[in-house]
Amino acid sequence: MSFFLRTNYQIYHATHSPQTFYKYPVQSISQLASPPFLSIYLTKNQSIRLPGSYSSYSKMASHIVGYPRMGPKRELKFALESFWDGKSSAEDLQNVAADLRSSIWKQMADAGIKYIPSNTFAFYDQVLDTTAMLGAVPARYNWNGGEIGFDIYFSMARGNASVPAMEMTKWFDTNYHYIVPELGPEVKFSYASHKAVTEYKEAKALGVDTVPVLVGPVSYLLLSKPAKGVDKSFSLISLVDKILPIYKEVVAELKAAGASWIQFDEPTLVKDLDSAQLRAFTKAYSDLESSLSGLNVLIETYFADVPAEAFKVLTALKGVTAFGFDLVRGSKTLELIKSGIPSGKYLFAGLVVSTSCSLLHTAVDLVNETKLDKEIKSWLAFAAQKVVEVNSLAKALSGHKDEDFFSANAAAQASRKSSPRVTNEAVQKAALALKGSDHRRVTNVSARLDAQQKKLNLPILPTTTIGSFPQTVELRRVRREYKAKRISEEEYVKAIKEEINKVVKLQEELDIDVLVHGEPERNDMVEYFGEQLSGFAFTANGWVQSYGSRCVKPPIIYGDVSRPKPMTVFWSSTAQSMTKRPMKGMLTGPVTILNWSFVRNDQPRFETCYQIALAIKDEVEDLEKAGITVIQIDEAALREGLPLRKSEHAFYLDWAVHSFRITNCGVENTTQIHTHMCYSNFNDIIHSIINMDADVITIENSRSDEKLLSVFREGVKYGAGIGPGVYDIHSPRIPSTEEIADRINKMLAVLETNILWVNPDCGLKTRKYAEVKPALQNMVAAAKLLRTQLASAK
């Protein structure tokens, strides 16, 4: 059996998006062969020592788990959006995709990577690709069989004029998202997308022999949910016998095409699985064994340690040649490898150096960077650089070490360690002083809500939006030209004020109760704040895919964080001066800023989070002094950072929730604190959400088929204001007044009238005004309809 030695000698939790890029000081082969630098694959037919002597690594090779698909200049993003807007053809989109795949494969081949992945490219996400491969299309999309094309594929991802999209949720604890399969006993699976085989042949025609990658059958089922109308207790893994015939067909076609390796990604093995779920892995791979005969089979895990019971199951799987373990975030697995390999069964030969998971979660190429200064740039590596580094490690471990390469790495590490830019003693002292207090507001939420209502005088079922309004082409042009110094600050401020005024007037016309300024001055909800905080660095082209065509540029936190001056007060005050209605001050919370940044590795994450919390606290108090009475502190990524293992949940939630409370513990009772969360499963952390002690929480609900409401049906009492989203903003579909009213009625069945808010699922940045205006108009109409009905029922 084989275990691939998976590494980055950077601090690359690279699987937890966003991750750090900082380099470890690797100066010797023995360091390279020690955690936390490695994840390991062990291979058949020769013994090795772990970690150990130079002779142990004489047959070292290199492997990449996956690679960013958007392109160095976001070519796929623009091609997708052009196609969705009807400005280009399906053929145009396919041509852009083929060019990107070709360049990625050739880049890896030129770098000397031996095991190059294929089928990691996706037009939306790899789980949706698997749904297409299995023909698991929900009935509402009216698919009539045959090869699934873009119409059905993108309808599942984005919805269409007549039906909503499938649920979207976070991929493990990253900022990447996937489309959740909807399965049940009546689903008729069929081989409906030949993409994996087509892409393998495409690479082979270019002279590149690749390792086709498939989402493993058991992880696919465990990442799914019961379809609407299917009993929630339905066992998804009971469907394994129905999907394995399709996997066998795919494997047969890959073998016929000449594939010698195949990679199954089974990342759910790092989670807390029960015995029935673990047995499903044994059953699945036992059933696949004869089909896999003649192939080298690699099972990939990543994101955390593999628990001991799962390790036993995994290493006993039949027909499997190699296993991939993440020793960057799962260093305990090394002890299992050393002591837990079944006696007499595993003989090890050769090692393969690889990434700890797919490079999908990093930016593409540092060569494209013009914004980073020379010192900070020397501390970093993006996906293209990591490919080179992985191969350099493999060569070094085979006895062909590039001394100049490793000397440069050591010099970069020394530079970062000694740089005065990294440490701010005043910030560290302030963060240390936080210990000993839980930073709660002095009055309970019920009393605060009473005081706020007297001041705000809102109707029942108050309406609001989450923050952003559409970012038009003209608005983006204004920001771009201001950054390029092609227009003056005076011209920029004038243009942004005009946009804010337009958004304010629109909301007043729609009769929305609590307004937002639309955030026209902001590029991204994290980048905007990071650009104004010390300790952050920024890229020009460091884009990372979040979902579909949506990309973000995570800031890089390299040092202690502080707020040199107010960040949002001017724009919020300007917006409030344009209306008599309450205007929300809009901030991003410390946990979300942390989880959506590439975070320094030289101190615990919670210490960095507390520093950010103190900076946001300063901003909250300045907004209050400026007369802003409603302040929203978004924590969209709080759930995302939850560790994958339950034993680690309590510690994370303690410091994450504490960080949020720090930001607003000093405001008056009459200042209403909102927070917002989206696109995760919140039911299992509802008590921590209550512990955040916000006055109002708005939370995604409609796209996840109102899953959130079930927690309240089960008896959880929520006394603060709450706004479960009434429509999905990630779909171009416009919901009717009746549909929204029906959703509100479902909420009223489990929530008190006096705490319920009416709002969309998330911000409106990615939508067009032609969609936003009628959707919000219907939302307000639904709220007014319910107010009338509630009044007449008294």
- Tens digits of residue pLDDT in 270-313: 999 999 999 999 999 999 999 999 999 999 999 999 999 999 99
Q: Is the pLDDT confidence value at 616 over 90?
A: yes
Helix (H, G, I), strand (E, B) or coil at 345: coil
Token code pair at residue 740: 């929204």
Q: Which residues contact 260 (CB under 8 A, 6 or more apart)?
A: 209, 295, 296
Specify the pLDDT at position 4: 47
Provide DSSP, 632-690: EEE-TTTGGGS-SSGGGHHHHHHHHHHHHHHHHTTS-TTSEEEEEE-SS--GGGHHHHH
DSSP summary character for residue 758: B
Q: If you write DSSP's letter for every residue of 137-185 in order, what string do you get?
A: --GGG---SSS--HHHHHHHHH--SSSPPPPEEESTTSS-EEEPPEE-T
First to last CA, the chain: 72
Residues 6+ apart with CB under 8 A from 680: 169, 170, 639, 640, 700
Mention every residue, 6+ apart, whose C-beta is less than 8 A from residue 97.
Answer: 76, 79, 121, 123
Least confident among 238-252, 393-407, 745-759: 393-407
Task: Name the residue with higher pLDDT: 372 or 399.
Answer: 372
Residue 588 pairs with which residues in a beta bridge? 634
Question: Is the per-residue pLDDT at 680 higher than 90?
Answer: no
**38-41 vs 696-699, strand pairing mode:** unpaired
Alpha carbons 471 and 457: distance in angstroms, whole number: 31
Nearest-angstrom CA–CA distance, 62 and 790? 66
| Percentages of the chain per state (helix, strand, coil), in multiples of 5 | 45, 15, 45
The answer to whether 194 is a known catalytic residue is no
- Please give the Cα distance from 411 to 378 (Å, whole number): 9
CA distances from 137 to 147, 161, 180, 382, 652 (A): 12, 17, 11, 36, 37
CB 169 within 8 A of CB 681: yes
In this prediction, residues 3-32 reach a mean pLDDT of: 33
Which of 583, 584, 643, 641 is closest to 612 using CA atoms? 641
Q: What is the pLDDT of residue 679?
A: 62
Q: What is the mean pLDDT of the chain?
A: 89
pLDDT for position 696: 97
Kindly state the tokens that stand for 782. 């639904």
pLDDT digits (tens, 9 = 90+) for 477-494: 999 999 899 999 999 999
> Does position 754 have pLDDT exceeding 90, yes or no?
yes
pLDDT band for position 351 (cuts 50, 70, 90):
low
- Strands 584-588 and 182-183 turn out to be unpaired
State how far the Cα of 103 lies from the Cα of 380, in Å rounded to an integer: 22
Q: pLDDT grade, residue 30 (50/70/90)?
A: very low
**C-alpha closest to that of 588 among 528, 547, 648:** 528
Please identify which of the residues 16, 63, 517, 730 carries the catalytic annotation. 730
Half-sphere exposure of 240 (CA within 13 A, CB side): 22
Report which secondary-structure segment, H or E, holds 483: helix 473-483
**Confidence band of 26 (pLDDT split at 50, 70, 90):** very low
Question: What is the C-alpha R_g of the chain?
Answer: 26
526: nearest Cα among 501, 500, 498, 561 = 561
What's the confidence (pLDDT) of residue 52?
Answer: 36
Give the residue carrying structure tokens 């707020």. Answer: 563
**More reliable by pLDDT, 318 or 65:** 65
Three-state DSSP at 585 gives strand
**pLDDT tens digit sequence for 178-236:** 999 999 999 999 999 999 999 999 999 999 999 999 999 999 999 999 998 999 889 99
Q: Which amino acid is at 97?
A: A
What pLDDT sits at residue 278?
A: 98
Q: How far apart are CA 346 and CA 353, in angstroms?
A: 19
Binding-site positions for Zn(2+): 676, 678, 687, 700, 762
The annotated binding site for L-homocysteine is made up of: 466-468, 634
What's the token pair of residue 388? Answer: 């080179």
pLDDT of residue 2 exceeding 60: no
d(CA 1, CA 346): 5
pLDDT of residue 31: 34
Question: Torsions phi, psi of 620, nearest 5?
Answer: -60, -45
CA 643 to mean position of chain CA atoms: 14
Question: Model confidence over 428-469: pLDDT tens digits?
Answer: 999 999 987 889 999 999 999 999 999 999 999 999 999 999
Residues with Cβ within 8 Å of 12's Cβ and at least 6 positions away in sequence, in order, are 19, 20, 21, 328, 355, 356, 362, 381, 386
Confidence tier at 59 by pLDDT (50, 70, 90): low
**Percent over 90 (pLDDT), the chain:** 75
For residue range 95-137, list pLDDT tens digits in order: 999 999 999 999 999 999 999 999 999 999 999 999 999 999 9
Q: What b/e readout covers 472-510, taking b as 16+ CB neighbours within 10 angstroms?
A: eeebeebbeebeeeebeeeebeebbbebbbebbebbeeb
Please give the structure tokens belonging to residue 773. Answer: 């205006």
CA-closest candidate to residue 40, choices 387, 354, 265: 354
Highest mean pLDDT: which of 575-584, 642-651, 673-682?
575-584
pLDDT score for 782: 98
**pLDDT tops 60 at residue 21:** no
Dihedral sign for Cα 118, 120, 124, 127, please: positive
Where does the pLDDT of residue 701 fall: very low under 50, low under 70, confident under 90, or very high at 90 and above? confident
Whether 9 has a pLDDT exceeding 90, the answer reads no
pLDDT higher than threshold 60 for residue 40: no
- Mention every residue, 6+ apart, whose C-beta is less than 8 A from residue 771: 732, 734
